[in-house]
Amino acid sequence: MSTKPSRTLETFPNPNPERDYTLHMRIPEFTCLCPMTGQPDFATIKIDYVPDERCVELKALKLYMWSFRDVGAFHEAVTNEILDDLVRALRPRFMRVTGEWNVRGGIYTDVVVEHRSPDWTPPTPVHLP
């Protein structure tokens, strides 16, 4: 088992590519550094996606998230970077990354970014009585 952070996002074939389904992931211990002060920033990163041909391998995702620990990044930039890297690796039908940032200067910040494949149409939700 690796004990070092890594920017490599390993993937595996989607076991059910014929079906739309959603993966929900919650990473409650994300850290990076404030680019202005160098102090640590803490966030919960949520990833929701509808896979196409590939899914992300969880250990690789953990090591990828760890790779930000000593990186100075604004909340908006790092949340968008995570989305861009995951989209590049997975090419999902849909993906949303949410950064729920802990308080800084008395302000909580949530950053929500999305990707939607141009040839994907979301299924119509089923509403049961």
Which are the contacts of 83, defined by CB distance < 8 A and separation ≥ 6?
95, 97, 113, 114, 115
Half-sphere exposure of 11 (CA within 13 A, CB side): 16
* Active-site entry in 20, 32, 41, 119: 41
Q: Is 41 a catalytic residue?
A: yes
* Active-site entry in 34, 48, 52, 85: 34
Half-sphere exposure of 103 (CA within 13 A, CB side): 3
Q: Is 52 a catalytic residue?
A: no
What residues are annotated to the active site? 34, 41
